[in-house]
Amino acid sequence: MPELSPETLLNAALGLLIVMTLAGAVLAVTLRKVFHNLLGFGLSVIGGAGVTLILGSEFVALMQLLIFLGGIAIAMVFAVMMSTPNEQAEEPRSAGAVIPAILLGLGFTALICWAMLDGNFPQSSPYVAEAWSVKNIGLLLLTDYELPFEAISILLLAAIIGSVLIARRTREPEPSEEADRG
């Protein structure tokens, strides 16, 4: 069996991650249930973070995972709380909106490909790459920027708790729920 070079394995992993990202994106926009859309989006985010990691930006990949997957988890909670029961009929999707959406997506993809192939992007210096390493950013967040970092986390927690309380107050009980209580 021929031995595979590290570059070949890296290219294969990159290809698999790109396919995973695209498959997740297609699932996110084509599935009918909100919960399944979120799972597809999560798959796409994980694939995108993997691509970012292979391209050498560990911090951006980590932030993609933390921010987007945290947001997806919160959105899943809201999707379960606010969605309609499975017994209710779903409205059919408008076929007239599918073709413009596909054309817009293909046009945006072509624009990005053109910019990437035609653009002349400078290489960053090793000093700049070291300044934005995960270790240096972590040290900054836990020393110089500790107070803003903690304030943002408390603000996000308050927003989550507030939105859950608002969602619970505005939701009207179903007739079957009232009969179960009485």
CA-based torsion, 118, 119, 125, 128: positive or negative: negative
What is the tens place of the pLDDT at every residue in 127-171? 666 777 788 888 888 899 899 989 988 998 898 888 888 877 765
Measured CA to CA, the distance from residue 17 to residue 11 in angstroms comes to 10
Per-residue pLDDT, 130: 72
Distance CA(149)–CA(146), nearest Å, equals 5
Q: What is the mean pLDDT of residues 62-71?
A: 86
Question: What average pLDDT does the structure give for the chain?
Answer: 82
Q: What are the residue ranges spanned by the domains of the chain?
A: 9-80, 125-174
17-21, 72-76, 119-123, 158-162: range with lowest mean pLDDT: 119-123
pTM of the model: 0.63
Q: Does residue 25 have a pLDDT over 80?
A: yes
Q: What is the mean pLDDT of residues 5-12?
A: 90
List pLDDT tens digits, range 74-118: 888 877 777 766 645 566 667 677 788 888 988 998 998 888 888
Helices 58-82/134-142 angle, 10° precision? 60
Q: Tell me what percent of the residues of the chain surpass a pLDDT of 70.
A: 82
Tell me the C-alpha distance between 37 and 25, whole Å.
9
Note the pLDDT of residue 59: 84
Q: If 0-12 CB within 10 Å is exposed, 13-18 middle and 19+ buried, where does residue 176 land?
A: exposed
Give the integer Cα–Cα distance in Å for 64 and 72.
11
